[in-house]
Amino acid sequence: MNERWEAFGRIWAKGPQSKMYQRLMEKVKIRGLEPTEENCRDYWMGYVRYYVDGWSGIGIHVNPRKDKNIMKKLRRNKNGKHRRKEAEPRTPRKVD
């Protein structure tokens, strides 16, 4: 396993009395996620990313590998790229 994964396990094992535990819970709440162990671990490991909806301009934090429905709404795939290939800009034609 990864060192960060093990470090998270130690932080979580200390329980709610630990300052780092409380800090993780607050950071996850601020980002609009439910403060569960799974969401806190995803945030700690860096899996949670910030995406902006191109239509409404609203930004959300999401784990792209787990929340596939949200990624479809944002029209992105699990790697964060746009789902549809965007058209390349056309070069202007010379008008006589």
pLDDT of residue 23: 95
| Residue 54 sits in the same domain as residue 79 | yes
| Residue 43 sits in the same domain as residue 54 | no
pLDDT of residue 68: 81
Query: Considering the domain boundaries, does residue 90 fall inside one?
Result: no
| Residue 22 sits in the same domain as residue 37 | yes
Percent composition of the chain: helix, strand, coil (DSSP 3-state, to 5):
40, 10, 50
| Residue 4 sits in the same domain as residue 39 | yes
Q: What is the mean pLDDT of each run of 10 residues along the chain (96 residues)?
A: 88 93 94 92 91 84 83 72 64 77
Q: Where are the alpha helices (DSSP H) in the chain?
A: 3-14, 19-30, 37-45, 68-73
pTM assigned to the model: 0.71
pLDDT of residue 67: 80
Range of the domain at 71: 49-84
Domain count for the chain, please give it.
2
Query: Considering the domain boundaries, does residue 20 fall inside one?
Result: yes
The residue whose two tokens read 């787990």 is 66
| Residue 33 sits in the same domain as residue 55 | no
pLDDT of residue 29: 95
| Residue 43 sits in the same domain as residue 7 | yes
